[in-house]
Amino acid sequence: MAETHRIAGTGRLAGAKPVRFTFDGEPHAGREGDTLASALLANGVHLVGRSFKYHRPRGILSAGAEEPNALVGIHRDAARRTPNVRATVQELYDGLTAVSQNRWPSLAFDIGAVNDLASPFFSAGFYYKTFMWPKAAWAKLYEPNIRSAAGLGVAPDKPDPDHYSSRFAHCDVLVVGGGAAGLAAALSAAESGARVILCDEQAGFGGAMRYESGARIDGLDGWDWTQAVARRLSEMDGVTLLARTTAFGYYAQNFVGLVERVTEHMAEPGDLPRERLWQVRAKRVILATGSIERHMVFAGNDRPGIMLASAARTYLNHYGVSVGRTVGVYTANESAYRGAIDLKKAGVDVRVIVDLRDNPTGPAIDEAKGLGIEVLPGRAVTSVGGSLRVKSITVQPKTGEGTGRLIPVDALLMSAGWTPSVHLFSQSRGKVAFEPGTQRFVPGTYAQDCASVGSCNGTDDLAAAVREAVAAGERAAKAAGRSGGARPAIRVEASEGWSAGMVGAAPGAGKGTKVKAFVDFQNDVTAKDIRQAVKEGMRSIEHVKRFTTNGMATDQGKTSNLHGLAIAAEMLGKDIPEVGLTTFRAPYTPVTYGAIVNHARGELFDPTRRTPIHGWEERHGAVFEDVGQWKRAWYYPQAGEDMHAAVNRECRTVRQAAGLFDASTLGKIEVVGPDAAAFMELLYTNPWQKLEPGRCRYGIMLREDGFIYDDGVVGRLAHDRFHVTTTTGGAARVLNHMEDYLQTEFPDLSVWLTSASEQWAVIAVQGPKSRDIIAPLVEGIDLSDGAMPHMSVREGKICGVPTRLFRMSFTGERGFEVNVPADFGEAVWEALWAEGRKHGACAYGTEAMHVLRAEKGYIIVGQDTDGTVTPDDAGLDWAVGKRKPDFVGIRGLRRPDLVAPGRRQLVGLRTKDPKTVLEEGAQIVADPKQPVPMTMIGHVTSSYWSENCGHSIALAVIEGGRARMGQTLFVPMPSTTIEVEVCDTVFFDQKGERLHG
């Protein structure tokens, strides 16, 4: 079939490259520059989909982004199947494959259409009424069926092979909409020297000039003028032109989200991103978003072949396509006449113009009559013939008197008037104002630095719109601090204008219950549904909307909102503004997840942090665990070992010989300044003033409420310099916490904080052989117990590079933590490893580290504490300076609840069966025979098998725990109840002799 409806000598695609495409498997011919909709119409195809609820045959309503009906699937390959693409927006490319949706087995014969016959059961609010009883039916019957019936199109089930991009941009003036007004505003701003971004959702600039044939500007046809201005703008410095780019969201402080469709129109996208998300911060925004034509609400108005008058005109004047051979027009305003005139002049048989108005007058009416088109004023279209395509219309006086006259047509153009596109203005939190004379909402009170120009502002006259736009562009540039250049002189010599039209249902919508006069095509909402909603008590338009789903489809009611509002207002006997307009929300049109996520997928979903020693760990078979964003070596299984065996061996080896552990992820903060000690006194519970340089102390940090926030070993390097360590997870927030207090509470202190977490690679060497391992590599530090006792820090060299060497232990063994600049970390580790091998040392991971510290009863903040544990609860009261006058949390610690008896205290637990390992998080009760729900007196915080002890060990917080030593308690589990005995938290080397051994 070869473009039977393309009319030679019309449109702008003459000479365009021919392209082939298929629709539901049927091959068709089109042209480069076509949309899928224009190409289908060129081939006489109007039936393109089935409606959502009633499965009624649907055609193409519009020629733009407002399209509610012509939603199709576009299939590039198995992974690229995009559902719900508007055929009116999708540009044609060679080989495009489109399929219709929501039909089975075929578009022409669809089983689901029985819903149309059963429609009395699917009236407004039927979800809320029908599926209430019986309750049991919901999960098994209603929900699965509703789910399978709900939704349009089918989402692809394979990973998206495309990539998406993102760009932050700043400009002086962002102009949204590239019609005559937007172009004029952009030109005016750019001439003033402003940095301008102009975006338009269509494939090119021109806006309404795409279909208007009566405009002349600066001696040019309206369309040619827009193309000339766009060219001129593209050559100017500081101007960014973005076609195929939708401004979908208007956020705070002139932050506007745009999505640019980069490759949707290309047969071969190459390496280009499919879409590019622009996040624009504009000093001023100019909205030139135009207006959208409304359909007439009458019985059968959804029949394929019935479409907006401006759409039919676009298909003729831009694409060279006639939407029918025998065309009728149904209107309540003058603009539709222009469509009839253009079609008539192109040689199409325009049978009739049915005008709801009694005495329509104006130049367009005269011209239509002059061309011999029959005009029937004061009449309504009351029904239509045909099922898969309109075949005829029945025309009756709008008073309902007289008999209907049947007029055969194969296309019907309709226009109820124009709705200014105030979506973005409303999103900017601007308040719309109702104009009673024209029955429309226009921008009223502005909330941001923004202006509206052209028909979105209710300025219908082209000359006035261009004047307004030029002034707005100049004003915006000036407000952004740019001025100069000449104000562009734009002369509008001829233009089309139109009157207001109507809102609500036309007389032909009927009062009966069977008539389907559609208000919202995409959600199948009819005029009677809205009337019914009001009858059932809905008073606010917000309730009417939710009850009927009017305006809730993906088109967000671009064509339907005002009609629905008018019908509800009429039923309620109120004025439209009293019933209110629903709020417009982002996005203006649907945005893909791909565009929103853009680069943040795969490896870029979230940073993966690796330590300087990661490569060695990988080469030595470490299994890694995720700790926040870090990858940490968890354990190092040798041949034949499972995790258990590996961890047991590592734990044993550390206590018998030694182990190397990568502790680089610990947070490190350097606290420097003459008031460093004073600051430490305030941030930690411990006393610091008397700590000598070269010594370390275990510090506890509280929140204001007295609960433990973080802990770590702190070394004093000099009188005015502390090397603070934090937990791995606490690194960032502890620095923030410290900065917060320093800047807001203690700003008079001369001290500064610097994160040094990543400056240092940290290698813990722990175990009886640890000193023997490091000694041969260390220079300038006396490692003897006398010179460097437990809890001290020295600066010197190891392997010839600078080190901060800590003598400290998180295992209970003699131990060192070797800090070296990060780039030396791996080489120093390898040198230590070589020494360690001589002494039978192993590398151990975080799991063994956890077991070893639990054997010693050392807590892990965030595991054994949960934000409700005080130092005393954790058995760490010794770390709170009793004579200190102040520190963060000191008042919190005195709260009655925090000193009351019976608080949960950290204790050890031993299971009666030494082989049983408790579940971390398990609840503890005193009497397992009590009825459920039992009184829970605590829970297990840490639990492991201890190879060194030969039995399981656990830490727990239990009410009055320290007074329960030796008591038997119970841990009820789903299948059994475990008996445990309360014991001390230290399971291994209770005297702590091994620290020095």
Q: Given the rule CB under 8 A, which residues bind other proteins?
A: 163, 165-170, 195, 271-273, 276, 279, 281, 598-600, 603-604, 606-612, 630, 670, 672-674, 750-752, 754-760, 776-777, 779, 798-801, 820-824, 826-828, 831
Question: What is the smallest separation between the CB atom of 606 and other proteins, expressed in angstroms?
Answer: 6
Strands 440-445 and 623-627: unpaired
At 634 the three-state DSSP class reads strand
At 601 the three-state DSSP class reads coil
Question: What is the smallest separation between the CB atom of 495 and other proteins, expressed in angstroms?
Answer: 37
Question: What is the smallest separation between the CB atom of 315 and other proteins, expressed in angstroms?
Answer: 34
Start-to-end Cα distance in the chain: 94
Q: Phi/psi of residue 229, each to 5°? A: -65, -40
Question: What is the smallest separation between the CB atom of 262 and other proteins, expressed in angstroms?
Answer: 9
Do the Cβ atoms of 102 and 49 come closer than 8 Å? yes
Q: CB nearer to other proteins: give 543 or 797.
A: 797
Strands 721-726 and 667-672: antiparallel
Q: CB nearer to other proteins: give 464 or 597.
A: 597
Question: What is the smallest separation between the CB atom of 461 and other proteins, expressed in angstroms?
Answer: 37
Integer Cα distance of 655 and 767 in angstroms: 5
Q: CB nearer to other proteins: give 698 or 752.
A: 752
Please spell the DSSP secondary structure of 38-75, one letter per residue.
HHHHHTT----EE-TTT--EE----SSTT-SS-EEEEE
Question: What is the smallest separation between the CB atom of 187 and other proteins, expressed in angstroms?
Answer: 21
Sign (positive/negative) of CA torsion 144, 147, 153, 155? negative
Dihedral (Cα; 298, 300, 302, 306), 10-degree rounding: -80
Question: What is the smallest separation between the CB atom of 480 and other proteins, expressed in angstroms?
Answer: 12
Task: Give which of 271, 61, 237, 64 is closest to 161, Cα–Cα.
Answer: 271
336: which residues sit within 8 A by CB, 6+ positions away?
A: 309, 329, 330, 353, 413, 414, 415
Q: CB nearer to other proteins: give 839 or 962.
A: 839
Q: CB nearer to other proteins: give 43 or 664.
A: 664
Integer Cα distance of 338 and 315 in angstroms: 13
22: which residues sit within 8 A by CB, 6+ positions away?
A: 28, 96, 97, 98
Q: CB nearer to other proteins: give 678 or 756.
A: 756
Question: What is the smallest separation between the CB atom of 621 and other proteins, expressed in angstroms?
Answer: 20
Integer Cα distance of 177 and 198 in angstroms: 7
Please spell the DSSP secondary structure of 398-439, one letter per residue.
TTS-S--EEEE-SEEEEE-EEEE--HHHHHTTPEEEEETTTT
Q: CB nearer to other proteins: give 69 or 757.
A: 757
For the beta carbon of residue 208, count every other beta carbon within 10 angstroms.
Answer: 23
Q: What is the DSSP letter of 850?
A: H
Task: Give which of 303, 166, 189 is closest to 591, Cα–Cα.
Answer: 166
Q: CB nearer to other proteins: give 810 or 829.
A: 829
When computed from its CA atoms, the radius of gyration of the chain, rounded to whole angstroms, is 38
Q: CB nearer to other proteins: give 256 or 506.
A: 256
Question: What is the smallest separation between the CB atom of 730 and other proteins, expressed in angstroms?
Answer: 16
* CA 861 from centre of chain: 33
Strand partners, 360: none
Question: What is the smallest separation between the CB atom of 193 and other proteins, expressed in angstroms?
Answer: 11
Q: CB nearer to other proteins: give 832 or 861.
A: 832
743: enclosing H helix or E strand? helix 731-744
Integer Cα distance of 36 and 22 in angstroms: 10
Sign (positive/negative) of CA torsion 381, 383, 388, 392? negative
- CA 550 vs CA 81, 125, 147, 424, 531: distances in Å: 28, 11, 20, 20, 12
Question: What is the smallest separation between the CB atom of 736 and other proteins, expressed in angstroms?
Answer: 12
For the beta carbon of residue 227, count every other beta carbon within 10 angstroms.
Answer: 18
Do the Cβ atoms of 499 and 392 come closer than 8 Å? no
Q: CB nearer to other proteins: give 446 or 752.
A: 752
Question: What is the smallest separation between the CB atom of 755 and other proteins, expressed in angstroms?
Answer: 8
Do the Cβ atoms of 473 and 200 come closer than 8 Å? no
Integer Cα distance of 380 and 397 in angstroms: 6
Question: What is the smallest separation between the CB atom of 842 and other proteins, expressed in angstroms?
Answer: 21
Question: What is the smallest separation between the CB atom of 246 and other proteins, expressed in angstroms?
Answer: 18
Q: CB nearer to other proteins: give 704 or 830.
A: 830
Tokens representing 937 are 């007196």
Q: CB nearer to other proteins: give 536 or 670.
A: 670
Task: Give which of 739, 737, 683, 743 is closest to 714, Cα–Cα.
Answer: 683
- What's the one-letter identity of residue 574? K
Question: What is the smallest separation between the CB atom of 229 and other proteins, expressed in angstroms?
Answer: 24
Q: CB nearer to other proteins: give 199 or 700.
A: 199
How many residues does the structure list for the chain? 997
Q: CB nearer to other proteins: give 374 or 626.
A: 626
Question: What is the smallest separation between the CB atom of 451 and other proteins, expressed in angstroms?
Answer: 22
Question: What is the smallest separation between the CB atom of 886 and other proteins, expressed in angstroms?
Answer: 23
At 198 the three-state DSSP class reads strand
Q: What is the DSSP letter of 193?
A: T
Q: CB nearer to other proteins: give 759 or 967.
A: 759
Place of tokens 């397992």: 928
Question: What is the smallest separation between the CB atom of 751 and other proteins, expressed in angstroms?
Answer: 8
Integer Cα distance of 809 and 790 in angstroms: 8
Q: CB nearer to other proteins: give 150 or 604.
A: 604
Q: CB nearer to other proteins: give 364 or 672.
A: 672
* CA 312 from centre of chain: 36
